[in-house]
Amino acid sequence: MNANWQPPMLAINTWLIAASEQLREVDIASSRLDAEIILAHTLRKGRTYLHAHGDELLDARHQEVAGARLALRLDRVPLAYIIGHKEFYGRRFKVTTATLIPRPESEDIITVVKKLIPPTIAHSTPTKLIDVGTGSGCLGITLKLELPELDVTLTDISQQALNVARSNAKALQVDVKFLRSNLLQDFPLKVDLIVANLPYVDPDWDRSRETDYEPPEALFAAEGGMALMLQLINQAPSRLQPGGYLILEADPVQHPQLTAHAKSLKLDLVITNHYCLAFKQS
């Protein structure tokens, strides 16, 4: 083969059609969207640019980079890891393979906290919040942005995850504290709110292939996925101020056991929805 050979130049639309078809063949439902995100990220343009410049030719370098990213997606690497970020509550958060990818269902925790601690109260009363197992920092950072008067601490057992959270806090210009800790083990203070999206997947559950690329310590837990949540519930009464709240994300199948265990420790269920549980200290 000629060392100077270059692949034929493809138009944006041609590349997108071919990439979408390949993604459909491996059962990726969002095939067209994923193809557009990959190419837009490669070109450093918005997706609307692709729609307006469909006949524009891609140079060899852009085709090579986009092709490499497409190959990762075809291998079911999550799109967020390929492009390096994920939207959460309308903001962009950096993610790496050291952190769980933020899920839309986790936004319910933000909604619940804002219901329990309205902005008028947050602005008038000092309120301390700790985000346990923060990962990318999406929960604690978002709550600080939504309720600026909160005193927020982000904790994680993983220093790599805390580094990512620190980077997101800097990028979004928020003032939060950081602490490396196994749950609340190294946090001796009392707070008004504990929020946590801890690992809650049972390793035996059916799940997407994409989760094979996420850190297992951020995804899986023993005891039907509840081991870490049960530990946190045990720790919560001694760390909550009177009338304080513990807000957890959990699978609906886990809600009855978690609720019963919390009640035995005088933590009463006050709000529940599909994935979120909020307990108040009696």
Q: What is the pLDDT of residues 224-273, one digit of tens each?
A: 999 999 999 999 999 999 999 999 999 999 999 999 999 999 999 999 98
CATH, domain range 85-281: 3.40.50.150
Give me the CATH code for the 12-75 domain, please.
Answer: 1.10.8.10
Pairing assessment for the beta strands 191-196 and 91-94 based on DSSP bridges: unpaired
Provide the 10 A C-beta neighbour count for residue 52: 11
Non-local CB neighbours of 161 within 8 Å, separated by 6+ positions = 98, 99, 134, 135, 136, 218
Convert the pLDDT of each residue in 43-72 to its tens digit.
999 999 999 999 999 999 999 999 999 999
